[in-house]
Structure 1
């Protein structure tokens, strides 16, 4: 579910607070100046009600001026930091920044909101938008995945802290997509090391896939690649275990057939060693 303008606007509270105007001064400030009239003209800024800034922000949102809306909501918080409007405007600042495509500003404002108002119903929404802002800037698997790792944390928070919110189901789905993306990145780096015949480094990458992202579709290929790497360095017991675990968990996988053929080519067959880290990690997940 991608948040739309209607999703953000339904959180708005249109009630306005009337702020009485300040009484007019019956004398000039220069009357109190013992050094005579000031050569500079002194003006008193009229008190602008908080709801004026809020409604200005809403108006700019409706017009698609998300940057201008964010500034208005930010101004309100500076001028009325302890009012009920400050909380509302901070949430709308998160939304305006998100719609404006400002990922850093979105996550920063969302973090402030959750820090200041963790128990409000809208905390789940702010957290979700932070994850969504990062998720929508997903890089391809050849680039750094720091943003996706951060998105996962926000989505996981939605699931853990706000499991009954309307955003939990979508957060769960996108969390799985993010895991697939990170697993694919680790696989890609592992393949690179294999091409360089740096099998130890490649094994470490495929190991990461199994430890962190075992429930993703990339686990199948990681097991087959482990079979290749261990055969390349002569650790046949681990190669046989990787193939056996692959066959036990994904018997119809084309990766299992590849692993089986590689073992057969060296006069070996899949055989699981219970002492292998590969065997242990799959038993641990199976029992959980």
Structure 2
């Protein structure tokens, strides 16, 4: 009986060995199918140089799956967000960046994630015709406000990064857009004889967005609306401030319906 027992043991051992060997080769083949035999650096280079946005994102995602602990996997997250932005998938791009900031709040690349959120939110508000026929201040400015707040968050959290100075410049531009948006609303109210509403909007511009190009127009519009409701002294005061502070101002809008 002992030779038979030895034969059975040997057979079982052989089967177990073959089983483990099969698992090993299966895992190895699966890993090679993910990595394509590329190193993390090669993976990143191929994804970065791809002409197709979809292919580029897919390669960056494969890189993260194949080498999740590499520095390239971390950078791939930011690259994906940027390509989503270029593909005008703004909300998904911002969602990715929010997750990145939550996971890596103090990483050296995180200021860029803050900055890119602002850039993407600005992109949401733009039209290709803005430089020729349209003005994004006349549309919904929710994404402009988001961009403004994203840049403020960057400046507050990382005041000395290379992106902070650019963010400060963008804040000036965005403040001008927001002020101009309020001015368009005040003009709209004026044309419909909603004079009190127009006056309040004009005051809001002066108080909330001082030193923007919309302030003299707001003073002029305020005086116009005060006149229409018979508050001549207040109209005179508004004109006096306008002349003193902006002596060369000429109205650049009309109130014809």
Task: Tell me the TM-score range normalised by the shorter chain.
Answer: 0.7 to 0.9
1:249: Cα distance to partner? 2.3
- What does residue range 191-206 of structure 1 map to in structure 2 within 5 Å? 191-206=187-202
Alignment of 1:130-209 (within 5 A): 130-139=117-126, 140-209=136-205
Q: Is the 8 A contact 2:40 2:67 kept in 1?
A: no
- Separation of aligned partners in 2, 1:211 and 1:81: 50
Contact 1:58/1:69 (8 A) holds in 2: no
Q: 2 CA distance for matches of 1:212 and 1:78? A: 48
Deviation at 1:236, TM superposition (A): 2.8
Tell me how far 1:49 sits from its aligned partner.
5.4
Q: What is the match of residue 132 of structure 2?
A: none
- For the structure 1 residues 53 and 100, does the alpha-carbon distance in structure 2 shift closer, same or farther, using more than 3 Å as the test? farther
TM-score normalised by the chain length of structure 1: 0.66
Rg larger in structure: 2
Pick from 225, 247, 251 the counterpart of residue 251 of structure 1. Answer: 247
- Consecutive unaligned residues of structure 1, counting only runs of 5 or more, are 1-24, 30-42, 256-288
Question: What residue in structure 2 maps to residue 59 of structure 1?
Answer: 46
Cα shift readout 1:101-120 (whole Å, capped 9, x = no counterpart): 32212211111111111212
Offset at 1:194?
A: 0.7
Larger % of helix: which?
2
What TM-score comes out, normalization by structure 2 length? 0.73
Q: Which structure 2 residues correspond to residues 26-45 of structure 1 after superposition, within 5 A? A: 26-28=17-19
| Cα displacement (A) at 1:147 | 1.1
Q: What's the offset of the Cα at 1:76? A: 4.6
Mapped to 2, the partners of 1:220 and 1:131 lie a distance apart of: 29
Aligned residue number for residue 36 of structure 1 = none
Contact 2:47 2:60 in 1 (8 A): no
Provide the secondary structure at the position in 2 that maps to 1:254.
Answer: coil
Task: Provide the secondary structure at the position in 1 that maps to 2:106.
Answer: coil
SS at match of 1:227: helix
User: Which one is further off, 66-75 or 169-178?
Assistant: 66-75
Number of residue pairs matched? 219
SS of residue matched to 2:235: helix
1:130–1:154: 8 Å Cα contact kept in structure 2? yes
The match for 2:7 is: none
Distance of aligned partners of 1:65 and 1:200 in 2 relative to their CA distance in 1, 3 Å threshold: same
